[in-house]
Amino acid sequence: MSPWIQESLSMRLARIGMVLALLLGLVMGAFQVWLDFDREARALDAEIEQILTVAAYAATPTAQRLDDLTAQQIVAGLLRYPFIRSAELVTDLNTVLAKTERPDQNSRTRWLTQQFTTHLSRYAVTLHAKENPSRQYGSLRIVVDRDVAFRDFFGRAGVILISGILRNLLLALLLFVAFQRLLARPLTDMVNTWSNIDPAHMNGDRLPELPRHRYDELGQLTTCGNAFLDASQAHLQQRKKLESALLTAVEQAQDANQAKSEFLAMVSHEIRTPMNVVIGLTDLLYEQCENPDDTEKLARVQQAGNALLELVDNILDLSRLESGALMLKPAPFNPLAIARETLNLFAQHADEKGVALHLESSDELPEQVMGDGARLRQILIHLVGNGVKFTQQGAVTLRLHPAANQRGGIHLQVIDTGPGIDPHQQARIFEPFTQGDSALTRRHGGSGLGLSITRHLTHLMGGAIQLLSEPDQGSHFHLILPLPAVSEPTPAPTPQPASPMRLLLAEDNADNRMLIQTFLRNTPHDLVMVENGREAVDRYAEDGGFDLVLMDIQMPVLDGYGATRAIRAIQKERNAPRTPVIALTAHALERDREFSLEVGCDEHLTKPIRKRELLEALQRWSDKLAETDTPSSTLQTALPPA
């Protein structure tokens, strides 16, 4: 028998009904037996009393005459009754005139008789003379065997008891069958229907109607169950519609986010490409210009170009931070050196405004810490830049000291004496494209992205930022960043003069080719220029004696990715040493850098390319080539003869 059947309501009720019927049959049967036994006992006593009365009528003159023969006949006649065990006639002098008894008859019902009454009962009647009742002639005594007297009764009682139990069991069985048909079977069908309903895929499922139970509890249960199923199905359909709408909205949001990312990448690329020429040539003219008026104008062009580039970088950074695509690059760095570099960036602007810049640091500040120094520099540039921009007089102070309540943390403070920020606006100050005072924004400019990026970077680094400010009382920014100290300071490499290298530049834009050529004019490097990736591959395959390749990415005929793959294939085919490839591209997203490295580039420089940045990269690779002792002629000797 399965556990479900054993635990079903029908079987439990059947067991309970059978047990109750058995108990009820036993109790009612026992009660009936007890009543019958009491009635049978009273009838027996009455019969014995009548027997003794009749016998006493004959025994009195016998006892009076002391007629032992007649007395013996009288007592023997009493044994005609099977329940009389013995009888005796005793004179008034207590002498036995006559006595008779039958042997003991062992019976299976004796134990049962003894549970209700005594086995043997003694009865006696005094013999009196009619004419003189006070005169006694003796007594007639009998012993009654109640086991014999009640033997037939107990047989009948057993039949009554068993028939009562069977009657109750039959009634329980009939009730069980009726319950099974009227209640259990409809409930079982209802349970099976519920079990077959899939809550996630309901398709008009309903409980079967019960015509015979339309107005009873089962009918009400069926009605309520169908109402619940209808409501559940409606809810499921509504949920599916909402999920479908949500999925559509998510897909649209993802498409919009992808479109936004592609748009930002495209805008960044289209802006950086001309800005590469504008900023690069402006830097060159600024270095060569000797006319103070022209120098000032070029400086303003530089500032405008840098501001535009900063805006593009901030928008890209904010997009990457909000999407979680920006990753930190931990490395040992000197926090105090970064703080000095940051203040040096704003030293000229602050001096022109008459604003003092102060750097305060603790002697306990570690010389080297582990973290992303570039992102810390970005945070400080935003905070110090805002302080210098909005402060008209006074000072901007940058403080660095170990965090008081955090082991391995640094507490940075940027304090200015500017106009301050209203407490009601401080909650919005870290939102993108938001600034505290629109009048100040119109006066000083700015996109409102700096503090939002600062907050995102701080949280990304596992730190916290707090602003304390009052109108006309300046602003006080607190930053706590987990930057654990590095035990061994990393020694700065000793700069070595750049070794002459033979360079291959692949760039489709003539202005950019001219700019790179100008950057390298006073260097010992030999530069060969081509206009697309196909020409770069062909020139590399024909010549091959290049120490380094400067590869633009977006070019006609064959782009930089394809050209890099082709160059790596040539090296593998000829078993030649690996020639470093530096990607020069306006693609500024992290995924662009990762893809450049994946296809075979060794470094990724984002346009606009600064002269210092390019020369530092060439210096690094010149040092690496010098360490590996790989001359430019290595690949050339591996080429097949012409």
Summarize pLDDT for 448-457 with one digit per residue, the tens: 677 888 888 8
85 vs 110, higher pLDDT: 85
Q: Where in the chain is the domain with CATH 3.30.565.10?
A: 335-482
Among 129-138, 263-272, 464-473, the range scoring the smallest mean pLDDT is 263-272
pLDDT tens readout for residues 371-425: 998 889 989 998 999 899 889 999 999 999 998 877 778 999 999 998 888 777 7
Q: Where in the chain is the domain with CATH 1.10.287?
A: 214-329
Interior CA angle at 452 toward 449 and 458, to 5°?
135
> d(Cα 510, Cα 389) in Å, to the nearest integer?
37
pLDDT at 632: 47
- What is the H or E stretch that residue 481 is in? strand 475-482
Q: Where in the chain is the domain with CATH 3.40.50.2300?
A: 502-638
pLDDT at 638: 39
> d(Cα 85, Cα 121) in Å, to the nearest integer?
10
pLDDT exceeding 90 applies to what percent of the chain?
Answer: 21
Q: Which CATH class, in words, describes the domain spanning 214-329?
A: mainly alpha
Among 40-54, 188-202, 319-333, 340-354, the range scoring the smallest mean pLDDT is 188-202
Check whether 443 has a pLDDT greater than 70: no
SS3 164: helix
For domain 335-482, the question of CATH label 3.30.565.10 is answered with yes
pLDDT tens readout for residues 27-81: 777 777 777 777 877 877 788 888 888 888 888 888 878 888 888 888 888 888 8
Read off the pLDDT of each residue in 562-580 and give the average, rounded to a whole number: 93
For domain 502-638, the question of CATH label 3.40.50.2300 is answered with yes
pLDDT at 119: 61
pLDDT tens readout for residues 273-309: 677 677 777 777 777 777 777 777 777 776 677 667 6
pLDDT at 616: 92
pLDDT at 488: 61
CB 416 within 8 A of CB 391: yes
169 vs 570, higher pLDDT: 570
Q: Which residue do the tokens 């196909």 mark?
A: 534
Read off the pLDDT of each residue in 169-195 and give the average, rounded to a whole number: 73
Q: How many CB atoms lie within 10 A of CB 326?
A: 19
For residue 323, give the amino acid letter. S
pLDDT tens readout for residues 138-150: 888 888 877 766 6
Read off the pLDDT of each residue in 343-367 and give the average, rounded to a whole number: 90
SS3 575: coil
Q: Give the pair of three-digit tokens for residue 27.
A: 């109790």
* Average of per-residue pLDDT values in the chain: 79
542 vs 293, higher pLDDT: 542
CATH architecture of the domain with residue range 3-166:
2-Layer Sandwich (3.30)
pLDDT at 42: 83
Q: Where residue 188 falls among pLDDT bands split at 50, 70, 90?
A: confident
**Backbone torsions φ then ψ of 372, nearest 5 degrees:** -95, 95
